[in-house]
Structures are given as structure tokens and as C-alpha cells.
Amino acid sequence: MGVTVGIIDSAAALLAAGVDGVVAGWDQQVPVRNLEKGVAFPSGTPHSFFMDRFASAYQVELGAFVDVISRRIESPCTPRDALEVAYIAEAATLSLQLHRPVRIDEVRL
């Protein structure tokens, strides 16, 4: 079973694998609303800027990057991890351009 990427907004991507799926970047402040009657999620005040939404994640990421380039720790990411991220980014870009979900195997070499 393949994985499909679809863009929800500029900071959230839907990864659907069969019946179950996950959304990266989804929280109470995602600037969307549910159209189902009686469903109040999300109920928080929408983020106004993507840095508000991901500032703490970027701080942790930058700290880990500095630790790796300073040789205090080994990189937790393998070359295979980097290749998989490139496939996901390519599928997300293609999804945005084609206005449809794109399966990872459509862009995998």
C-alpha cells in the first residue's frame, strides 16, 4: 500500500495510507474549520504566521543541527532518510501543482 501526499495549507500536509492517515502540523489553531454539523474542532484562535506555529520546533531543530556540525553528536538522519524526505517534498510540490493527491511511488526513482 502506498502513501499519498496532499497539501492542506502552507504548513500542513496530509499523509494518507489506506484507511488510516496522519496530518503533520495539525493542532487546535489550524486556520481551517470543520463543516460537520455540531463539530467544533479546531476551536483555538488561528495562527496568524507559520513561525508562531512552529517556533519551538525550529529552535529544537537548529539546536540539533549545531550539535551535529559541532560534532557533539552524530546525525540522527541517514542518507536514506534524506532521500525519503526529498520524495515527500517532491510529491507535495506535485500535489500543489496538479491540484490532486500524489502517491509517493509516483515520484520515487
pLDDT digits (tens, 9 = 90+) for 5-24: 555 454 444 544 444 555 56
pTM: 0.49
Query: What was the pLDDT predicted at 1?
Result: 45
Mean pLDDT over residues 30-36, rounded? 63
* Contact yes or no for 5/92 (Cβ under 8 A): yes
CA dihedral 99, 100, 104, 108 (to 10 degrees): -50
Q: Which tens digit of pLDDT belongs to each residue from 78-106?
A: 999 999 999 999 999 999 999 999 999 99
* Cα–Cα dist 61/57, whole Å: 6
Neighbours of 96 (CB within 10 A): 15
The C-alpha cell at 58 is 525550529
Residue tagged 488510516 (cell numbers): 20
